[in-house]
Every structure is written in structure tokens, then in C-alpha cells.
A and B are shown apart, each in its own frame.
Chain A
Amino acid sequence: GENVEQHPSTLSVQEGDSAVIKCTYSDSASNYFPWYKQELGKRPQLIIDIRSNVGEKKDQRIAVTLNKTAKHFSLHITETQPEDSAVYFCAATRGGGYQKVTFGTGTKLQVIP
């Protein structure tokens, strides 16, 4: 089955700096990679996703890159703000036919004002 590793487990940055979270996956058949943000005690919320036919995707201050050959993908947050503080999970799935999603172990991001 799929195995997703995520690093770092915790990340502290100064407000305004950039944050990068990296994930690797094992199943070469995985073709959809979502990123979720989970605030304390709340549900995970999808913030950005990328499909295997795309190398990079950007949405305002958030971007995701994918290297299929190396089987790794990264989340980039620029100009971080205190409200970006949360736990971020990467995930991977084959998609199609109600395939299950495998989550990374999570990164706790703290943005220091």
C-alpha cells in the first residue's frame, strides 16, 4: 500500500518568512496529492491540491510542487501570517473509484508574530 512521509514534524517561522513542508510517497500509481490544514480541534480543510500531470500549482501565497520521478511533493507558504499557524497534512491517492487517501504524519506550523 501507499506510504507517505512528511517532514518536518514541527516548523517555526517568523511572520513574513516562507515555510516549506516536504512529503514523499511510495506508490508510483498515486496521481492526486491534496494538502490539508487542520486547526486545533477542527476538521481538516483542503487548501490546495495537485495532480500528477502538473509540476506546480499556485494559489495566492500557497504553492505546491510535484516531482513524479523522485516521488516527492512540497507545500510552500510565502509571507506567512499568524493565522497560518496550524497542522498541515499532505496526502496521496490513486484517485478514481473511491480510492482511499493516505495521509502524511503532519507538520505543526507556528508563525511567530
Chain B
Amino acid sequence: GAVVSQHPSWVICKSGTSVKIECRSLDFQATTMFWYRQFPKQSLMLMATSNEGSKATYEQGVEKDKFLINHASLTLSTLTVTSAHPEDSSFYICSADRTGSGETQYFGPGTRLLVL
């Protein structure tokens, strides 16, 4: 099956710093990738849709200046959490739409962020 990787798998940072998370589609090109946030024992909350070559589409309530998304190539999308605070601590997962059908989502392994 299709492979999506994320890096880093976990990160601990100090409050006020910025953290960049990478999402890569390893064996296919993805015009669209999605970024989710998952709190413990909760569902996947879509944060934004990352579109290659254009601006990301953010969900209501997600601060675009806080969570910067860059989809610079067909295999890479990055999420940067700027000026991180303890409440940003969470599990961040990306997914990629392999076929463009809007159906087949392949998830990355996730990045656990802890902000001290």
C-alpha cells in the first residue's frame, strides 16, 4: 500500500519556540494532504487541507498564523506550529489523498508534540 511518513515522530520543545513537522508521500504524488490534530482518547480533528502550489484551506477555529502550512512539492507538506504553548501539545497526523478521488486517505504515523 501507499506509504506516508512523518518527521519527527515526537518532539519536546520550550514554550515560545516554533516546531516544524514534515509529511511525505514516499511512493506517490499527493496534490492534497490533510493535517489533523488528535487529543488523547478523542477523534481526529481536521485542521487544514494542504494544497500543492497554493494556500492551505483552514478549518473554522484554526489560526492560520499559528499553524503555518507549506505544500511546496507533490510529496511534501510541512506544518509549523509557531510560538508553541503547552495547550498546543497534541498528536498531529497528516494524511495524503493518493488518487485524488477524495476517498483513499493514507495516514502518516503521527507526531507527538509536547510543549513545556
Contact = CB atoms under 8 A, between A and B. Distances in A.
Contacts of A95: 101-103
Nearest to A108: B41
Interface stretch (A53-61, A65-73, A75-83, A99-107): A99-107
Nearest to B112: A41
B103 A106 contact: no
Give me the 10 closest cross-chain CB pairs, A-B, nearest first: A99-B102, A98-B32, A95-B102, A43-B107, A32-B103, A105-B43, A103-B44, A96-B102, A106-B43, A95-B103
A95 B93 CA distance: 20
Interface of B: 31-32, 34, 41-44, 46, 49, 51, 93, 97, 100-105, 107-110, 112
Contacts of A22: none
28 contacts: A32-B102, A32-B103, A34-B103, A34-B105, A41-B110, A42-B110, A43-B110, A44-B44, A44-B93, A46-B104, A49-B103, A89-B44, A95-B103, A96-B101, A96-B102, A98-B31, A98-B32, A98-B49, A98-B97, A98-B102, A99-B102, A100-B46, A102-B46, A103-B43, A103-B46, A105-B42, A106-B42, A108-B41
B21 to A, nearest CB: 14
Contact of A43 (B97, B103, B108): B108
Output the residue of A45, A94, A96, A101 with the most chain B CB within 10 A.
Answer: A101
Contacts, number: 59
A102 B109 CA distance: 19
A96 B102 CA distance: 5
